[in-house]
Amino acid sequence: MLKKVFATLTATVLAASMLAGCTDNESASSGGSSESKDGKVTITTVRTLKDDTKFRDGEDLNNNPITRWSEKELGIKWKTLWTAPNDEQYHNKIRLALSSGQKLPDVFKVSDGQLINDLIRSGKVMSVDEAIEKYASPRLKKIYEQFPEAFYPATVDGKRYGIPRFSGGNGSDSLLWIRKDWLDKLGLQPPKTIEDLEKIMDAFVNKDPDGNGKKDTIGLTLASKNGLATWLADGSFIFGAYGDYVPGSWSKGEDGSLVYGSVQPSMKKALEKLNEWYKKGCLDKEVGILDEQTAIESFVAGKSGIISAPPWAAGWPITDALKNNPGAVVEPYPLPSGPGGKIGRRGEGLVTGMFLFSKDFKHMDKFFQYLDEAYAYVYNDSKYFKYGLAEGYDYVLKDGKPVYDDKQIPGGRIDPGAYFITEAIPTVPYMLYDLVEELYTTKRQPKNAYEYTRIVALGESFMKAATIVNEQNQYRIENEFTGPPTKTMQKRGEFLTKMERETFANIIYGRAPLSAFDEFVKKWEESGGKEITKEVNEWYQSVKKAK
């Protein structure tokens, strides 16, 4: 909520500065890349810097173990021109720089699809096709060939303009977290199918699992205010159990073209179920007005027995639930299957944004060298980061052996990965959870700082959950439309989303009959949905053609 309010504030400022957009002065406030006499290259960048990023005394983004390493070993001096505390403000600042004709930094990340497109069409960023061919290491090329879709957000007219910042791939995919102590108390087995799940929920509602003598518990915690397929208290698995589509996503239809999930006939069955569950008291009475943050309250308070959330939920909010309810045991379980044996879940996208490059940037070779070295650490064959990223930060040497325990590192552990321009230790989709699965199933000890800090330090519960998510990878339903909003989306998207959320909420609450869904589909098509589908597929064809 705070974010939104902030966004409006910045929007006002933005509007005020639109005037500046007409002056086309190439103000030189942001210095370009240059080569100094000693052969070192200075590269300018900008980035978000979250408030909780830690630095050792006296260090900052321009002076830390990673920048020192990069300058000494690779001859790259990084100059961070400015930072913003969150993506919204960051994007607004970039947008401002664009509309006021300022010079863009050499390298910068953008995760807003519209802004990426605006930047490309403004002609101020460089196409990267040639640079990848010439400078990308075999390792990087292989990853890029493996995930060609990752380039789609920054592909225009068959040319690629950005280098993807990969996500964990399945890092934020969800699974079920269930109160194991409730299951045990009521003598129930974990659910295999939606039917099992219904029986469990029924018991959770009616058999007083918390033993307080009151009928005050619910079965499933859901967030529906911002759509039913979301990052926490996710309801997408219910839709996935009845068809190949989840709400709000564009997936491949039967003929191979992209279709919009929310208007597919399989939605109906899931909505009917949700309505049934609501009537039986399995869901929060207020489910229609709960967003992700408010929805989890019922689970944290010990009023709800099941929540669908990603593996990282083991840290938050599951720990909060354990703290609040002494004796509570929360265990991760695979998603249940629907009547036809179907399972499906909302899949996180491949990328969290793109790196773009000013068209005046001359040192793509250096950029790729740096990126490759960062990836070398992930693949554990770096000649620079043998035990970890920096001694005294994420490990210490004791008798010539690395120690990763927080308590043994003076001043506590700090993750220098956050200092990379990738803003974290880089990832390759699916790689992390593959590694988790290996560590968890073989009980192998962590070999390096990466394995220790990114996996083992997060705990048993996380490892188990990530393993389960990884085992259900074939059920991912990803949003395949990663381009900027289309023309009709800009005009009508707002209305269509509003109509969708309104209709779904009313059906769940039983305020509208199930047939309201058919009316919604018809109206959706008539009020712009048809055009949007056409535009989305035009986009899809155009990016697929690109190399």
Partner 1 sequence: MQSAVNVKKQTATLEVQKTPKRRGTWQLHAMLLPALAIVFIFQYIPMFGLVMAFQDYEPWLGFLHSPWVGFEHFKTMFEYEDARQVIWNTLVISTLKIIFNLGVPLTFALLLNEVYMMKFKRTVQTIVYLPHFLSWVILGGILIDMLSPEGGIVNRFLSLFGVQPIFFLGDNDWFRTVVVVTDIWKECGFNTIVFLAALTSINPSLYEAAIVDGANRWQQTIYITLPSMLPIIIVVGTLSLGNILNAGFDQILNLYNPLVYKTGDIIDTYVYRVGLLNGDFSYATAVGLFKSIISFILVVIGYRLAYKYANYKIF
Q: Residue numbers of the site for partner 1 (CB under 8 A)?
A: 1-2, 4-5, 7-8, 11, 15-16, 18-19, 21-22, 24, 95, 98-99, 101, 114, 118-119, 121-122, 124, 216, 224-225, 284-286, 288-289, 294, 485, 489-495, 498, 501-502, 504-506, 509, 527
Rounded least distance, CB 417 to partner 1, Å = 32
- C-beta closer to partner 1: residue 252 or 491: 491
Q: How far apart are CB 208 and partner 1 at their closest, in Å? A: 16
Q: Which helix (H) or strand (E) holds 15?
A: helix 2-17
* H/E element, 180: helix 180-185
Which is nearer to partner 1, 289 or 397 (by Cβ)?
A: 289
- Distance, in Å, from the CA atom of 311 to the CA atom of 433, rounded to the nearest integer, reads 10
**Residue 214 or 407 with smaller CB distance to partner 1:** 214
Q: Classify 123 in phi/psi space as left (phi over 0), alpha (psi -120 to 50) or beta.
A: left
Least distance CB 152 / partner 1 (angstroms): 18
Asked if 469 and 432 count as a contact pair (C-beta separation under 8 A), the reply is no
Q: How far is CA 73 from CA 90, 366, 377, 425, in A?
A: 30, 12, 15, 18
Q: Which is nearer to partner 1, 98 or 376 (CB)?
A: 98
Residue with tokens 């103000």: 27
Shortest Å distance, C-beta 510 to partner 1: 12
For residues 183 and 329, give the distance between their C-alpha atoms in angstroms, rounded to a whole number: 10
Q: How far is the CB of 523 from partner 1 (least distance, A)?
A: 10
Contact 47, 108 (CB under 8 A): yes
Write the CA distances from 436 to 97, 161, 355, 429, 463, integer angstroms: 41, 33, 28, 13, 6
* Of residues 208 and 471, the one with the C-beta less far from partner 1: 208
Spatial distance between the Cα atoms of 230 and 211, rounded to a whole number of angstroms:
32
Residue 484 corresponds to which tokens in the numbers above? 């900027």
Q: How far is the CB of 414 from partner 1 (least distance, A)?
A: 32
DSSP states of 257-318: SEEEGGGSTHHHHHHHHHHHHHHHT-B-TTGGG--HHHHTHHHHTT-EEEEEE-GGGGTTTH
Q: At its nearest, how many Å lie between partner 1 and the CB of residue 487?
A: 10
95 vs 109, which CB is nearer to partner 1? Answer: 95
- 50 vs 285, which CB is nearer to partner 1? 285
- Closest contact distance (angstroms) between CB of 266 and partner 1 is 21
Please state whether the peptide bond connecting residue 317 to the residue before it is cis, i.e. omega within 30 degrees of 0. Answer: yes
Cα 390 off chain centre by: 27
Asked whether the beta carbons of 271 and 242 are under 8 A apart, the reply is no
Q: How far is the CB of 207 from partner 1 (least distance, A)?
A: 19
Nearer to partner 1, 123 or 340 (CB): 123
Buried/exposed code over 296-330 (b: 16+ C-beta within 10 A; e: otherwise): bbbbbebbbbbbbbbbbbbeebbeebbeebeebeb
Please, which residue, 124 or 413, has the CB nearer to partner 1? Answer: 124
Residue closer to partner 1 (CB basis): 217 or 470: 217
The answer to whether residues 110 and 356 touch, using CB atoms and an 8 Å cutoff, is yes
